[in-house]
């Protein structure tokens, strides 16, 4: 899918491109390519003279090659954006190409983005830029706004994680944590730990991208201040993720502690039962001996007396354990 965005009266307007002739009719500031076909790549190459690298969206690309500037003035930024939906949290690599130095190229002043999936951050920015005039002035504003929206998206996810952890805390600290509930709690805690780690990684990646843009000296004074504000927001989110990691670790330890307590209760019951059955076992073992001279064996009352003695030897310890509170 190939979409171009033009700036009209401070608003972004989206147009879906279905042919090379459609592409030639617009003067976009942003060209967004979602899973572009070879034909769409050819259109961009013919119209803008821009060759999109085949490995633009590869995840295994070297970290040192994710932020660089070509000799012709093209700026390449490859950053990861977070998606948290029904399919689970994951990162999607987005390749940005921006030429703001070489006016001889037709791609001058146009931001190109290439990615495999539609991203919630991109959808949110498109909605805002269409409804809020003055939000976007040029291609660099689009790039900064995408990173700013990504930080906001991660902040919303962190708020959801915090709310879920509060609910989990109520379950864990209620003191009525069964094994089935504990299993569900551990699964939820593991998911939140994974998601928090992905957010921290996303923030680290965004920080690197923003720092690279600031070093390239392409931003205006206002844009530079916007970039600094994004970095400050990232700092605050990193502090919040640290707090959530501490809370996750506490809930994990507390849940495992309650599981151990439940297991100890079961082991205690078996231990008490084993101790209570030792005297009857001893009595039964004695009268199971095959000695010739055992007076009780020849008595009519011997068998019921042995049974009564075994019952009494089992009941006696159980009453003692109950009095000491060991059966609770």
pLDDT band at 310 (very low <50, low <70, confident <90, very high): confident
The DSSP string of 135-148 is S--SHHHHHHHHHH
Integer Cα distance of 109 and 101 in angstroms: 9
For residue range 66-118, list pLDDT tens digits in order: 888 888 888 889 999 999 888 888 888 999 999 888 888 888 888 999 998 88
Separation of CA 285 from chain center: 61
CA distance 14 to 198: 30
69 — phi, psi (to 5°)? -125, 130
User: Measured between alpha carbons, how far is 81 from 125 in angstroms, rounded to an integer?
Assistant: 13
Say what the pLDDT of residue 55 is.
67
Question: What's the predicted TM-score (pTM) here?
Answer: 0.79
Residue closest to 313 by CA, chosen among 286, 281, 268: 281
pLDDT-based confidence at 59, cuts 50/70/90?
Answer: low
Q: Tokens representing 262? A: 């439940």
Residue located via tokens 């957010």: 199
**Where residue 64 falls among pLDDT bands split at 50, 70, 90?**
low
Residue 206 has pLDDT above 60, yes or no: yes
Beta bridge mates, 113? 32, 96
C-alpha 190/C-alpha 281 separation (Å) is: 47
Band (pLDDT 50/70/90 cuts) for residue 63 is low
What is the token pair recorded at 289? 């001996």
* Cα torsion 129, 155, 204, 90: sign: negative
Q: How far apart are the C-alpha atoms of 140 and 200, rounded to whole Å?
A: 24
Q: Count the residues in the chain.
A: 328
């Amino acid at each position: 899918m190939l979409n171009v965005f033009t700036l009209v009266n401070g608003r972004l307007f989206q147009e879906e491109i279905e042919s090379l002739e459609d592409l030639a009719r617009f003067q976009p500031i942003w060209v967004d390519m979602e899973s572009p076909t070879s034909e769409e790549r050819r259109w961009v190459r013919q119209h803008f003279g821009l060759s999109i690298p085949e490995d633009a969206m590869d995840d295994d690309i070297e970290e040192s090659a994710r932020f660089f500037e070509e000799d012709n003035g093209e700026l390449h930024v490859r950053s990861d954006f977070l998606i948290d939906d029904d399919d689970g949290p994951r990162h999607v690599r987005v390749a940005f190409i921006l030429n703001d130095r070489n006016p001889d190229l037709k791609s001058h002043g146009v931001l190109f983005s290439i990615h495999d999936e539609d991203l919630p951050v991109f959808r949110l920015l498109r909605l805002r830029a269409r409804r809020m005039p003055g939000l976007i002035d040029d291609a660099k504003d689009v790039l900064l706004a995408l990173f700013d929206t990504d930080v906001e998206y991660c902040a919303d996810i962190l708020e959801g994680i915090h709310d879920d952890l509060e609910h989990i805390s109520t379950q864990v600290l209620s003191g009525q944590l069964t094994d089935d509930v504990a299993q569900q709690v551990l699964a939820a805690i593991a998911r939140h730990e994974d998601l928090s780690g992905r957010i921290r990684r996303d923030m680290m990646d965004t920080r690197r991208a923003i720092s690279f843009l600031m070093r390239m000296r392409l931003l205006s004074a206002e844009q530079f201040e916007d970039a600094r504000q994004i970095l400050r927001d990232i700092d605050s989110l990193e502090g919040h993720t640290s707090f959530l990691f501490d809370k996750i670790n506490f809930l994990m330890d507390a849940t495992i502690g309650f599981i151990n307590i439940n297991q100890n209760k079961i082991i205690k019951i078996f231990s008490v039962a084993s101790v209570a059955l030792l005297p009857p076992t001893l009595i039964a073992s004695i009268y199971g001996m095959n000695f010739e001279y055992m007076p009780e064996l020849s008595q009519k009352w011997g068998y019921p007396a042995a049974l009564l003695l075994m019952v009494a030897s089992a009941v006696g310890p159980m009453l003692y354990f109950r009095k000491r509170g060991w059966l609770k």
